[in-house]
C-alpha cells in the first residue's frame, strides 16, 4: 500500500472511530457521570487511545513523505547541477571506448582481461549516464 493510500485509510479510520466515540459519549451522557456503565467508559478510553495511535502514525507518514520529497528535490538539484560535467565526461568516455575497442580488435582471440574489464566499465558508465542525463532530457522535451 502506498503512503498516500495508507494515509487516506488511516484518516478514514480516525473518522469512523470519532463517530463511534461521539455516539458512546452521548450514550454515557444519558446515564450521567455517576451511573454510566463501566463497559462504556472502557470502550470510550480504548477508542481515544486508538485515535491517538492512529494520529501518531499519520504524523509519522506525513513526516516521512516530507523527508522523501526533500531528498528527491535535492537529488534533482544535484542532477541539474552536475549535468554539463557528466555530459562532457560521457563524450570523453565514448572516445576512450572507441580506442579501447580498436585495441581489442588487434588482439583478436587473446585479449587481456584488464582491457576487457576497462571496456565493460566504460560501457556501464556510458549506459548509466545516458539513462540518467540524456534520456531524461528526451522525456522533458516530449
* pLDDT of amino acid 142: 41
pTM score, whole prediction: 0.52
pLDDT tens figures, 16-47: 999 999 999 999 999 888 888 999 999 999 99
Take residue 73 and report the three cell numbers written for it.
528535490
Please report, to the nearest 10 degrees, the dihedral formed by the alpha carbons of residues 99, 100, 104, 110 taken in order: 150
Residues of the chain falling short of pLDDT 70: 1, 135-142
C-alpha cell recorded at residue 66 = 516530507
Amino acid at each position: 500500500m502506498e503512503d498516500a493510500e495508507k494515509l487516506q485509510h488511516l484518516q478514514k479510520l480516525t473518522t469512523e472511530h470519532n463517530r463511534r466515540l461521539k455516539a458512546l459519549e452521548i450514550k454515557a451522557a444519558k446515564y450521567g457521570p455517576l451511573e454510566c456503565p463501566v463497559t462504556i467508559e472502557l470502550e470510550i478510553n480504548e477508542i481515544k487511545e486508538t485515535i491517538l495511535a492512529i494520529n501518531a502514525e499519520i504524523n509519522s507518514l506525513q513526516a516521512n513523505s516530507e523527508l522523501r520529497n526533500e531528498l528527491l528535490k535535492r537529488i534533482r538539484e544535484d542532477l541539474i547541477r552536475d549535468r554539463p560535467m557528466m555530459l562532457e565526461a560521457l563524450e570523453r568516455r565514448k572516445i576512450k571506448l572507441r580506442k579501447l575497442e580498436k585495441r581489442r580488435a588487434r588482439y583478436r582471440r587473446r585479449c587481456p582481461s584488464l582491457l576487457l574489464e576497462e571496456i565493460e566499465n566504460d560501457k556501464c558508465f556510458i549506459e548509466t549516464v545516458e539513462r540518467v542525463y540524456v534520456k531524461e532530457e528526451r522525456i522533458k522535451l516530449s
